[in-house]
Structure 1
C-alpha cells in the first residue's frame, strides 16, 4: 500500500528550470510507486510541477493552502482534495496530520521552515516518520555544513543526522522514504550540562 508523502518545495517563479524538472520527476516517481501526494496546494513553481506530474501518473493529490495565500500562490484547483486553512500554522498541522513521510526539495525560506519543524520533531522523538532531503544540485550543502559545525561546537547531538536522509537521487529518495525508521529517543544525557571545567 502506498504512502502519503508530503513534499516541501518552492513556490517561487524566479528559479532555474532544472528545479521544476526535478519536481516533475519527483511527481512522476511518486505516482509510479503508488503514493499519494500531500503538498502546499499551489499550482505555481515546483509545487505545481510536482502535483501536475503526480496526477498525470495517476496519483491522488492533496493540496493544503492557507486562505491568505489562495490568490498569492494561486491555489491548485485541480487537486483531488484542496483544503483551505485559516492560517499557516493550521496548514502545516494539516499537512503533518495527513502524511506518512516527508520529502524536501530545493526551496527557500518557507521550505526551510517546514524542514526544520519536522526535523526538530523527529530529533525530539515526537514522530518517527521518514524525512528525506533530495538535493542533486547541492543547494543545501551549506546547511549540512552548518549542522556539522553546530555538532562540533556542541549545539547539536549526532542524532540530528540520524533523523534525516540526504540524497541526490530521486529513486533513492523514495527508497529511503519507504524504509521503516528507528525511533529516536532523547535521553537526559542529551540535555545535560557539561561537567567539564
Structure 2
C-alpha cells in the first residue's frame, strides 16, 4: 500500500527524552519529503508541534483536527495547511482515522494511549483496516508491549499482536512498509 496520508498520534508535551522530539521532527521532514500529508491532532505544543512544524518547514501538507474544548490547552496550530475544529474528542478520533492511510504512534500520555487502543479496537472489529505503527523511541513503549504480550498469553486477544500493529525504532522504518 502506498501512503498518501499518515495520522500521527503523539503527546501535547515533549517528554523528558530529547529523542522524542528529534524523532517527531525527523518524521515530519520525511513526510514532507515523500509528499505524504500529515493528519494530526491540530495542537501547537509538544510533539504535536514538533511533527507539524517540521512538515510545514519543508513545505508539506498538514491537516489538524482539534476539538473545541482543547483549543485552549493544546493551543490550536494556526500555521498549518488546514485546521478543523470539531465538537468532541470522538469526532476528532474518527476524522483522524478516516482521513489517513496508516497511523503512527509516537510517545505520549493518556490521550495517545486512548487513540491507539481505539484504533486497534476498530481494526479488530473490522470498522477499519489500516496499518498501525508504534514508534518505540528509546524504548518508550517497552512496558506497554510487555503488557500486550501478557494480554495475549492470558487469552484476552483474538490475534497475535504482530497482526495488529508493527513496532518500529526509527521514523525511517515506516517507509519500508510504504510500497
Report the TM-score, using the length of structure 2 for normalisation: 0.93
State the distance in 1 between where 2:81 and 2:24 align.
18
State the distance in 1 between where 2:24 and 2:15 align.
15
* Corresponding residue number in structure 2 for 1:194: none
Residues 132-187 of structure 1, C-alpha deviations (whole Å, 9 max, x = no match)? 001131111111111111111111133432010101021112322x25xxxxxxxx
Query: Which runs of structure 1 show a deviation greater than 4 angstroms over 4 or more consecutive aligned residues?
Result: none
* Corresponding residue number in structure 1 for 2:63: 62
* Corresponding residue number in structure 2 for 1:42: 43
Unaligned residue ranges in structure 2 (runs of 5+): none
Give the aligned CA root-mean-square deviation in angstroms: 1.5
More deviation in 12-21 or 160-169? 12-21
- Contact 1:123 / 1:160 at 8 angstroms: preserved in 2? no
* Corresponding residue number in structure 1 for 2:92: 91
Shift of 1:13: 5.1
Report the TM-score, using the length of structure 1 for normalisation: 0.85
* Corresponding residue number in structure 2 for 1:134: 135
State the distance in 2 between where 1:13 and 1:171 align.
20
> 1:129 and 1:73, CA in 2 relative to 1: closer, same or farther beyond 3 A?
same
- Contact 2:149 / 2:161 at 8 angstroms: preserved in 1? no
Shift of 1:83: 0.4
State the distance in 2 between where 1:3 and 1:17 align.
28
> 1:123 and 1:160, CA in 2 relative to 1: closer, same or farther beyond 3 A?
farther
Shift of 1:95: 1.0
* More helix as a share of residues: 2
Residues 88-107 of structure 1, C-alpha deviations (whole Å, 9 max, x = no match)? 11111111221111010011
Count of matched residue pairs? 178
* Corresponding residue number in structure 1 for 2:114: 113
Work out which of the two has the higher radius of gyration on C-alpha atoms and give 1 or 2: 1
- Contact 2:68 / 2:87 at 8 angstroms: preserved in 1? yes
> 1:2 and 1:124, CA in 2 relative to 1: closer, same or farther beyond 3 A?
closer
